Structure 1
Amino acid sequence: MTQDKEERKRPQLRLVVNNPDLRGGRTAKGEDTGIPFDVLVAKRQELRPDFYRGIGPLHVKAYQRVERHLERRGWTYGLDPQHGRLMVIPAAEVCPEVLEHGGSPQDELLLFVADDPTGQGLCLCLEMILPFWSDDDAVMEEALIYAPIYPYGALFLEENRNDSYLDLIYRLSFPLYPPAPTERLLEKLFAVARYELRETLLGLDEFPEA
């Protein structure tokens, strides 16, 4: 039972905002063991067996459907088997406006399949560390308090394990009924993500520079 609970935990997000010089004011807790995105892409075929090894058939089917969708759209992506089986996509592929509002080509969007909290079916989750930060926790908390409330996605704060700063994270989750996502559902997921990310970034532009 304990092992099942551990497997249902959301994967820990990696530091994806490439700003170690700016965020170097606090002592890092440990080295980031993440695989660089270009390596994930270049070694996708090599990493695929590890990515799919040991997961149930419903998870396999869901991930395979997502892979086909990403390939159909021509989006670059990588498979990360070391951090909770993450599909890693450049954020600008999903929401090009990221680059207009403080983002960079290094910003990543993470996609993963989790067990539904009800224990029935699966949940397709999308997360991104937003390109907004401050060494003042009060600024980060205020940004969260005054952020828009969306019908699908949500924002939350989480301490980054690499440098102890607070990250403002966007998360979008869709239940999968039936368990394998359809093309229509995936189109909707990414359309919602683009809209809500764009609106969030526009709102964050109103905050003082961090």
Structure 2
Amino acid sequence: MKKDKDERKMSHLKLVVNNAEVRSARPAGGEQEFIPLEELIQRRDVFRPAFYRGMGRQQARGYQALERFLEKRNSPYGIDPVHGKVLVLPAGDLSAEAREYGSPQDEVLLSISEDAGGTGLCFSLEMILPYFSEDDAVMEEALLFAPVLQYGALFLEENPHDGLLDLIYRLAVPLFPPLLTARLAERMFAIFAFELKETFLALSDYPEA
């Protein structure tokens, strides 16, 4: 009887550790190699000209304001001009729970892009949560088990590197007027940290069978 019960047990939701290249939210840039977060941070002055090249005036102003904000709070951010033009932060810089439940390789992507309606800009923070299962049903149940958030959203997306489902948290807000202020950025960071905490605490109680 015990053997039958064990065979019926579902795959567990596992923490992802030390595989940033495979589980990164930064999309693959054709034949470009993955650039580790540490290198993005160390070489951000080198990457900056390519990052801003060809960027619209309002979008560039938004990113420049975001860089000033990050520098003022002494955040160890990186600039990635290859994989989607995003600023990249260690998740642990924004969330103590990310340090507790995740790994040093976990990243938060900061993006200022044209909104879906094409009428302005959108500021977003996005992170792949450090959980995965080879069983899609387990990931779908984890999404249902996770809390309903007031501001951000949780969703599943297939990872292009291995075909497994990623559980992603995203927080986004329109910029109107199209200028990012330090006050708005600080508020977004606070909401992101709070909702990430709620999500980690909820998923820590996810049933293993």
TM normalised by structure 1 equals 0.83
Do the aligned partners of 1:157 and 1:166 also contact (CA within 8 Å) in 2?
yes
Q: Aligned partners of 1:169 and 1:32: how far apart in 2? A: 24
Aligned to 1:95: 95
Do the aligned partners of 1:31 and 1:162 also contact (CA within 8 Å) in 2?
no
One-letter amino acid of the structure 1 residue matched with residue 204 of structure 2: D
One-letter amino acid of the structure 1 residue matched with residue 125 of structure 2: L
Q: Aligned partners of 1:119 and 1:19: how far apart in 2? A: 35
Aligned to 1:42: 42
Q: Aligned partners of 1:32 and 1:145: how far apart in 2? A: 36
Do the aligned partners of 2:32 and 2:82 also contact (CA within 8 Å) in 1?
no
Q: Aligned partners of 1:46 and 1:97: how far apart in 2? A: 32
Query: Which consecutive residues of structure 2, in runs of 5 or more, have no partner in the other structure?
Result: 1-15, 24-29
Q: Percent identity?
A: 55
Are 1:65 and 2:102 matched, yes or no? no
One-letter amino acid of the structure 1 residue matched with residue 40 of structure 2: L
2:186 alignment partner, SS class: helix
Do the aligned partners of 1:75 and 1:93 also contact (CA within 8 Å) in 2?
yes
Do the aligned partners of 1:125 and 1:171 also contact (CA within 8 Å) in 2?
yes
Are 1:122 and 2:147 matched, yes or no? no
Query: Which consecutive residues of structure 1, in runs of 5 or more, have no partner in the other structure?
Result: 1-15, 24-29
Aligned to 1:110: 109
Shift of residue 208 of structure 1?
4.1
Aligned to 2:8: none
Aligned to 2:11: none
CA offsets per residue over residues 151-193 of structure 1, 9 Å max, x none? Answer: 2100111111111111100000011011111111001100000
Aligned to 2:203: 204
Aligned to 1:143: 142
2:132 alignment partner, SS class: coil
One-letter amino acid of the structure 1 residue matched with residue 199 of structure 2: T
Are 1:53 and 2:53 matched, yes or no? yes
1:38 alignment partner, SS class: helix
Are 1:134 and 2:133 matched, yes or no? yes
2:33 alignment partner, SS class: coil
Deviating 4+ runs (over 2 angstroms): 16-20, 30-33
Q: Aligned partners of 1:137 and 1:72: how far apart in 2? A: 42
Structure with bigger gyration radius: 2
- Over the aligned positions, Cα root-mean-square deviation in angstroms equals 2.2
1:33 alignment partner, SS class: coil
Q: Return closer, same or farther for 1:153/1:85 CA change in 2, 3 Å cut-off.
A: same
One-letter amino acid of the structure 2 residue matched with residue 39 of structure 1: E
Aligned to 2:7: none
Aligned to 2:4: none
CA offsets per residue over residues 61-99 of structure 1, 9 Å max, x none? Answer: 000000000000001010001111110000000112112
